């Protein structure tokens, strides 16, 4: 008999089974999956966060965990929405387990007053045919979600040639004049907290959103400190470069994250240059400088991964100039929570 219940994240054995089911599903036939380690995944489920509530569901057949779900409920903004994911290991598929989990998620969200849900769905590999069937996409569509934005994961093999990074840096420097680059590791320096909060808040508004319906975000010192602490608890080291304008304001930033529990990879996260400062090749200057710094600090790493919306032509051009190559699609699906 299949039962669905709430995950107890403080039970180590239960969480290990939860993670194993997730990892088996997420990595199945996906050579470029970005599956979190158990040490990384446990953190959001065990900590109280300023901006989101996380919990999990487990589908069990007897003592066996045969499917799991993640739920993330924003607490600072987007209060009618939830981010959800369903994972069923390949050996347990075609039994209705994913549908049972999705129905339980819908019940939970309605009880919490959430009327919309959003989910990331891995797509086909970049080298597969356009008509390749992706089970996760059909599953999302059955529950009323529609594809609102498609992203492409790109990969850069390391070490990136120093000559290439130097050439890109020199070319960018000839355009950004009196802007200067500053850098830090992990927590934002106190003197930049207010400006950096404004930059993080602008990310949602300035990134390509295509058909996504998401609200602006509000960032303050408390939320930024919580954000910094979260990734430290996951043993992830975040390397940040910012562009400081002649008036002392922060014009843009970029982040590279080095996870201790994923010994081969580096992840490229946010990059943003504010509208009033574009046209000076600051995006290229920031990304080239940050990558040169981080690969020198971590020569053991073999690749960087990043994701870009298909419509984000300026950032795609920067990444391609740096040598990133497309490997996999990922879709953001969104819809209303079913009422029955």
Three-class DSSP labels, 103-166:
HHHHHHHHHCCCCEEEEEEEEEECCCCCCCCCHHHHHHHHCCCEEEEEEEEEEEECCCCHHHHH
Q: Using the 8-state DSSP alphabet, how is residue 180 labeled?
A: E
pTM of the predicted structure, to 2 decimals: 0.94
For 78-107, the pLDDT digits (tens) are: 999 999 999 999 999 999 999 999 999 999
End-to-end CA, the chain: 22
Q: Using the 8-state DSSP alphabet, how is residue 253 labeled?
A: E
Does the pLDDT value for residue 145 go beyond 90?
Answer: yes
- The sign of the dihedral angle between the CA atoms of 75, 78, 79, 81 is negative
Sorted by where each starts, the structural domains of the chain and their CATH numbers stand as 2-114 (3.40.630.30), 156-327 (3.40.630.30)
Choice among 26-30, 62-66, 132-136, 192-196 with the minimum mean pLDDT: 132-136
For 257-285, the pLDDT digits (tens) are: 999 999 999 999 999 999 999 999 999 99
For the segment 313-320, the average pLDDT, to the nearest whole number, is 96
pLDDT at 82: 98
For 213-223, the pLDDT digits (tens) are: 999 999 999 99
The dihedral over CA atoms of 175, 181, 185, 186, expressed in degrees to the nearest 10, equals -80
Q: With residue 73 as reference, give the H or E element that holds it.
A: strand 64-74
Does the pLDDT value for residue 329 go beyond 90?
Answer: yes
For the segment 155-161, the average pLDDT, to the nearest whole number, is 98
Alpha helices in the chain (DSSP H): 12-27, 38-46, 97-111, 135-142, 162-173, 193-206, 221-233, 282-297, 313-322
Q: With residue 62 as reference, give the H or E element that holds it.
A: none
- pLDDT > 90: percent of the chain: 94
Does the pLDDT value for residue 340 go beyond 80?
Answer: no
Confidence of residue 177 (pLDDT cuts 50, 70, 90): confident
Q: Strands 81-87 and 116-125: what pairing? A: parallel
Does the pLDDT value for residue 38 go beyond 80?
Answer: yes
pLDDT at 322: 97
């Amino acid at each position: 008999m299949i039962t669905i219940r709430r995950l107890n994240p403080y039970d180590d054995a239960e969480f290990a089974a939860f993670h194993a089911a997730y990892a088996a599903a997420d990595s199945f036939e996906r050579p470029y999956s970005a599956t979190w380690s158990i040490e990384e995944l446990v953190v959001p489920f065990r900590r109280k966060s300023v901006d989101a509530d996380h919990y999990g569901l487990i589908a069990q057949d007897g003592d066996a965990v045969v499917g799991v779900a993640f739920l993330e409920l924003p607490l600072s903004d987007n209060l009618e929405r939830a981010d959800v994911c369903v994972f069923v290991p390949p050996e347990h598929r075609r039994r209705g387990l994913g549908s049972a989990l999705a129905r339980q998620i819908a019940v939970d969200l309605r009880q919490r007053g959430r009327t919309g849900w959003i989910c990331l769905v891995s797509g086909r590999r970049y080298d597969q045919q356009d008509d390749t069937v992706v089970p996760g996409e059909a599953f999302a569509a059955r529950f009323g979600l529609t594809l609102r934005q498609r992203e492409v994961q790109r990969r850069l093999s390391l070490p990136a040639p120093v000559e290439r990074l130097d050439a890109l840096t020199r070319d960018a420097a000839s355009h950004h004049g009196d802007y200067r680059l500053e850098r830090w590791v992990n927590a934002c320096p106190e003197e930049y907290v207010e400006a950096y909060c404004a930059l993080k808040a602008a990310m949602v508004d300035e990134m390509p959103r295509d058909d996504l319906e998401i609200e602006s975000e509000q960032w303050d010192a408390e939320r930024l400190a919580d954000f910094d602490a979260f990734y430290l608890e996951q043993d992830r080291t975040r390397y940040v470069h910012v562009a400081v304008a002649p008036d002392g304001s922060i014009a843009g930033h970029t982040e590279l994250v080095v996870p201790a529990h994923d010994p081969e990879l580096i992840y490229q996260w946010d990059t943003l240059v504010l509208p009033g400062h574009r046209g000076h090749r600051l995006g290229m200057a920031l990304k080239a400088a940050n990558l040169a710094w981080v690969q020198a600090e971590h020569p053991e790493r073999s690749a960087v991964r990043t994701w870009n919306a298909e419509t984000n032509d300026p950032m795609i051009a920067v990444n391609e100039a740096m040598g990133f190559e497309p490997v996999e699609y990922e879709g953001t699906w969104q819809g209303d929570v079913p009422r029955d």
